[in-house]
Each structure stands twice: as structure tokens, then as C-alpha cells.
Amino acid sequence: MRAQAAALGGNAAAVEGLVLLNLPTYPTYTYGQYLIVHGSLEPPPAAARPGLFDYREYLARRSIFVLMEAPDVERLPQRGGNPLLVALGDLRRYCNTLLIRNLPEPQASVAAGMLLGYQATIPEPVYTAFRDSGTVHLLVISGWHLSLVAVLVAGLARRMQAGRSTTFWLALTAIWLYALFVGATGTVLRAAVMASLVALAAATERRAEPWTLLLAACLGLSLWNPQILWDLSFQLSALATAGLMAFGRPLQQWLATHPPFVWPGLGWAADVLAATLAAQAGVLPLLMYHFGNLSLIAPLANLLLVPAVPIAMLAGAVAMLAGLLVSPLAGLPVVGEVVGAIVAGGWLFAWLPLAFLTVAAEWLAALPGSVVQITVFPVWLLVLYYALVGGYWLLRGRSRPF
């Protein structure tokens, strides 16, 4: 919560800064609401001893230096904040309500993570299954989502015979509206900046050099907010992207010339497996350093699950959009019944791939030996790994097959 005023002993004064409030799950509070909270401000606890997680330092990187446990909260009637962010937040919550109302769990929460960026509502066993199967990235808003939005908008603009400049501004607007819509985390912001630079390169007929885009995105965001460099999700996103750019194409070229990927109909599998292995090469040591998990089933899991992701996202988005558009017709006598039946069919079609994703992730994660626990992964080994991988990539050449 961003504080605007504080009172102590009857004396009130204007203040500025962030306060972390630890509140019950319900009732919910949203961006833009004015609250009066009563409680004691306390400093966050520091690490019990060197080497352990330091909660105080973690919050300080987010410019939070005090917290309030279980305060009494009074909600004020007025509402502030940026009107655009307020409207996008309301729309996001309503879309989430549609998913919860029309899909069973855990498919509703998985769809909310994939389409709306809600991670906290995914049940812990389901999230653990995706993590242990090496497919948790499917639940996170990434550059793939933003690129898909930009491509769809740009394609629609071209069909309407819009000029290059108009197409660029429409794509740019769609990218940033969606980024704000899903929460504008560090990962999403990096992806949005890169997608914007790609759209700019296309509009100006310049070649988009991937490494330049990644470095420009990371540099721009770190200048805007230096603390973002300590955000683990931002680190994982940047390293996964770097792994894809460094090893994705060479791995795909190598796999495409070896069985079984040379067999008819298996070319797509080489693409998926190459992308999985390349991204894992970028993030695996950092994941082991922070979490101590090594998913051995990840390549197979990605081969099975990734092809279903576009279907699940498209079906879920269409069903959600249909629910938004036809909800005013639900009260009509005859039309409402027909429309309701069509929308129900759309939700059923969206449920099928989502159910496949959740069941497959749980089954794969439960296989014996699918996950290995790494008890100790020292920081020197982390640095050595990236030094060796980076050196190997430079010596072998940027796009040479293995």
C-alpha cells in the first residue's frame, strides 16, 4: 500500500512511501481504493544468520521498509489511481470471474495463470506438478504471449489495409495494454520492451538483431528501476531468452538431422525439444541454486504439453471473449438460451486442452525419478557454469550446429 498520511497520538502528517500489509484473503482490496488502517508499523525481520533468506533485504529492494501485521482496515468510498489501470484491473478481475464461474478447478486457475497472469490462485499441488515436470513456464505470461498479441493485431491491421505507421502504433498499443492488463511484472515488462523493439524494427524495415533487443530491454528496465535486476523472475526470463537465442537454432539443426526427428511428421518435435533444452541451458543452474530441483522429465514433458498450449490459450481466450460479449443477451427469452448453449460449448472446448495439461503435468511429475533434489549448489559453481557455457558459445560460433 502506498501511504499518503499517518497519524500518531492525534497528530497527523503527510507521508510518502510503501507499507506492506498482511491481511486475510477476504475481503479483497483492489488498486485505486483508499483505506484507513490502524496498527503498529514494524521493520521486517532480518535473516536469523548469514546465508539464510533475508526478508528485510528482499523488501528493501522493492522500496518497502516497514510492515503492518493484521491491521484494522476501513474502506473509504472514494477511489483514486490511474483511470486506465483501474479500468484494466476491473476488466481483469471480471475475466477471472468468468473463468471461475464456467470452468472447474484446477483448470480455471490454470487458465487464469496462462491468460491473465494470476499465479497466486493456482492450487499448490498443481503448481508443484508443473514445476517438477519442468513446464511451469507454461503458466507464466511471457514474450510468446505478447508476440502473439502483436502478430494478431498487426495481421488484422494489414487486412484492413492500414499503413505501416498505423500498424506499428496499433501493435505497440496492444502490446502495452496487454502488459498492463496482466500485471506488468519484471518478466512481462522485459518481454513488452523486446516486442516493442521488434515492432519498431519491422515498421522501419530494419533487421531486428535479437541480442541487441535483449540487451536494450534489460538495460532500459534496469535504468528505469535498478532493483529489477534482483527480481528472480526477471533473471529467469532474461536467461531463458538468452539460452534460446544462443542454442535454440544450433540444437534444432542438429536434432533435425538425427533420428527420430528425421522421420516424417516429427519435425515439430525437434523444434519443441530444441527450445526446451536451450531455455533449460540458460536457467537450470539458477533454478538449482535457488530451489534445488532438477527435473529430468522436462524434455519429455515439454514435448507432450507445449503443442496443447496454443490450443488451450486460444480456446480459453475465445470462450472468455464470447462470455464478455454475449452476457448482456443472457436475459432474453429465446436468444439467451441459444447463445448460452453456444457459449457453454465454447467453455467445454476450452476445458479439454486445459484438463490435458493439468493431468499430464501431474502424471509426469509423479513418475519415479522425475525430479532430483540438489541439496547444495554453491554460488561459485553457478558462476563457473555460466562462464563455461558463455565461452563455449563464443568459441563455437553463434549459429553453428553442434
Which of 80-89, 99-108, 206-215, 357-366 has the lowest average pLDDT?
206-215
Nearest Cα neighbor of 255 from 278, 282, 239 is 278
Give the whole-angstrom CA distance, residue 131 versus residue 365.
8
Average model confidence (pLDDT) across the chain: 81
**Domain termination residue (choose one: 81, 114, 137):** 81
Q: Is 213 exposed, middle or buried (0-12, 13-18, 19+ CB in 10 A)?
A: buried
* Choice between 16 and 312, residue whose per-residue pLDDT is larger: 312
Lookup: cell for 161:
489495409
Kindly indicate the confidence band of residue 135, based on its pLDDT and cuts at 50, 70 and 90. confident
Strand partners, 7: 12
Same-domain pairing of 63 and 102: no
pLDDT value, residue 87: 87
**Domain termination residue (choose one: 23, 57, 81):** 81
Give the whole-angstrom CA distance, residue 246 versus residue 238.
12
Judged against a pLDDT cut of 70, whether residue 77 lies above it is answered with yes
Strand partners, 373: 293
Judged against a pLDDT cut of 80, whether residue 399 lies above it is answered with no
Kindly indicate the confidence band of residue 362, based on its pLDDT and cuts at 50, 70 and 90. very high
Same-domain pairing of 113 and 77: no
Q: How many domains does the chain have?
A: 2
Helix, strand, or coil (residue 78): strand
Same-domain pairing of 6 and 72: yes
Same-domain pairing of 19 and 71: yes
User: Is 207 domain-assigned?
Assistant: no
**Domain termination residue (choose one: 81, 96, 115):** 81
Give 356's contacts (C-beta < 8 A, 6+ positions apart).
Answer: 308, 312
Chain center to CA of 271: 22
Q: Which domain holds residue 36?
A: 2-81
Same-domain pairing of 62 and 49: yes
Helix (H) / strand (E) containing 315: helix 308-326
Strand partners, 16: none
Same-domain pairing of 71 and 101: no
Give the whole-angstrom CA distance, residue 98 versus residue 123.
18
User: Is 182 domain-assigned?
Assistant: no
pLDDT tens digits, one per residue of 234-281: 888 888 888 888 888 888 888 888 787 777 776 777 777 888 788 888
pLDDT value, residue 342: 65
User: Is 35 domain-assigned?
Assistant: yes
Kindly indicate the confidence band of residue 360, based on its pLDDT and cuts at 50, 70 and 90. very high
Which of 50-54, 136-140, 221-225, 287-291 has the lowest average pLDDT?
50-54
- The pLDDT > 70 percentage for the chain reads 91
Judged against a pLDDT cut of 60, whether residue 330 lies above it is answered with no
Judged against a pLDDT cut of 60, whether residue 39 lies above it is answered with yes
pLDDT value, residue 357: 93
Helix (H) / strand (E) containing 19: strand 11-22
pLDDT tens digits, one per residue of 148-200: 777 778 778 777 877 778 888 888 888 889 888 888 877 788 888 878 877 77
Judged against a pLDDT cut of 80, whether residue 299 lies above it is answered with yes
pLDDT value, residue 339: 61
User: Is 295 domain-assigned?
Assistant: no
Judged against a pLDDT cut of 60, whether residue 334 lies above it is answered with no
Residues 198-206 have a mean pLDDT of 72
User: Is 154 domain-assigned?
Assistant: no
pLDDT tens digits, one per residue of 104-113: 889 999 999 9
Under a CB-based contact definition with an 8 Å cutoff, are residues 286 and 87 in contact? Answer: no
pLDDT value, residue 29: 78
Helix, strand, or coil (residue 373): strand
User: Is 123 domain-assigned?
Assistant: yes
Same-domain pairing of 17 and 50: yes
Under a CB-based contact definition with an 8 Å cutoff, are residues 297 and 370 in contact? Answer: yes
* Choice between 4 and 136, residue whose per-residue pLDDT is larger: 136
User: Is 228 domain-assigned?
Assistant: no
Residues 313-325 have a mean pLDDT of 83
pLDDT tens digits, one per residue of 271-280: 778 887 888 8
pLDDT value, residue 361: 93
Lookup: cell for 50:
548469514
User: Is 77 domain-assigned?
Assistant: yes
pLDDT value, residue 329: 59
pLDDT value, residue 349: 85
Same-domain pairing of 93 and 73: no
Nearest Cα neighbor of 287 from 226, 218, 340, 239 is 239
